[in-house]
Amino acid sequence: MILLVTPSERASECARALHEATSEGVTVAETLTRATTFLRAECYRAVVFDQYLFETEPDEIETMIEHLGAAIPVQVNLGISGMERLVREVRAALERRQREQARARQAAIGKLYDELNGTVTALLLSIELALEAPGLPAAAEKLESVYELVKRLRKQLENGSLTGGAEPAAGAIV
């Protein structure tokens, strides 16, 4: 969903162009106060600001920006920009955000992989040492079972099935 914040008479035309270009729902707020109300009630992917508002209502802009959440702000001068430029700017911002989110997701997966891999290695070594210790015949069967589970977890990490098919992070111990 996109929030378009502008007092412009072209607001409905801009909203229609954004909807057609992005297939996103578009909500129009004529004032910053109304935009802040919308931001409190709804989550938006992008908030498109008319640059005119930045110049005429700087205090209200600050209040509204505090409520953006995960929405990406896009500032456009609707007084001089055509529909093509508006659409191009919003599309570019949405694509940029999508790439950033994908990179962040991959980084998180890599970090998780590294942490799990280190834990699995420690578990395998500890179990191997416990299995080799004399005088543990009663616990050996249970340790064997745990050992097999950890080996299965290691295989899942190697195959990437825990990380949605992501490649292991560079420098990972497998």
DSSP character at residue 30: S
Sign of the alpha-carbon dihedral angle for 84, 81, 48, 65? positive
User: What pLDDT digit, counting tens, does each position of 110-136 carry?
Assistant: 888 888 888 888 888 888 777 777 776
3-state secondary structure of 74: strand
What integer pLDDT is reported at residue 166 of this predicted model?
45
- Cα 134 to Cα 85: distance, rounded to the nearest angstrom: 76
12-16, 73-77, 101-105, 158-162, range with the lowest pLDDT = 158-162
- Cα 138 to Cα 113: distance, rounded to the nearest angstrom: 34
- Cα 169 to Cα 135: distance, rounded to the nearest angstrom: 40
User: What pLDDT digit, counting tens, does each position of 44-96 carry?
Assistant: 999 999 988 888 887 888 888 889 988 999 999 888 888 999 999 999 999 99
User: What pLDDT digit, counting tens, does each position of 14-44 carry?
Assistant: 999 999 999 999 999 998 999 999 999 999 9
| More reliable by pLDDT, 2 or 150 | 2
The edge-to-edge listing of strands for the beta sheet with 2-5 is: 26-29, 2-5, 46-50, 72-76
Strands 72-76 and 2-5 come out as unpaired
Residue 162 has pLDDT above 80, yes or no: no
Residue 173 has pLDDT above 50, yes or no: no
- Residues in contact with 50: Cβ distance below 8 Å, sequence separation at least 6, in sequence order: 5, 6, 7, 8, 76, 77, 78, 79
For the chain, give the mean pLDDT. Answer: 84
> How sure is the predictor about 167, in pLDDT bands with cuts at 50, 70 and 90?
very low
Residue 143 has pLDDT above 90, yes or no: no
What integer pLDDT is reported at residue 76 of this predicted model?
92
- Cα 93 to Cα 26: distance, rounded to the nearest angstrom: 15
> How sure is the predictor about 138, in pLDDT bands with cuts at 50, 70 and 90?
low
